[in-house]
Amino acid sequence: MAQSNDKKFNAFGLTGLILGVISVFLYQVGVLPILGVVFSGIGLAKFDKERHKHKWMAFVGLGLSAIYCLMYLVSYGHINF
């Protein structure tokens, strides 16, 4: 069993978190939140609790990216409320 010190970051989850945070400021560039959703989803799918740490990063990245993807669609008139 791997110890806590031997665990690595999940690269896809970390990338999804970074893209999610960038999407907060640059959601007008529609590809950024979409990529954040994709990378966060892959990070959650590939997460292995024996090898990786910080699963929360993928969840936060997915949430931020999904919210700002919706904001992008609303701001450009693709979704009307």
Question: What ranges in 1-81 are assigned the alpha helix state H?
Answer: 11-26, 31-46, 56-75
pLDDT of residue 6: 85
Measured CA to CA, the distance from residue 41 to residue 16 in angstroms comes to: 8
Residue segments in the chain with a per-residue pLDDT below the cut of 50: none
pTM of the model: 0.87
Measured CA to CA, the distance from residue 52 to residue 4 in angstroms comes to: 9
pLDDT of residue 81: 78
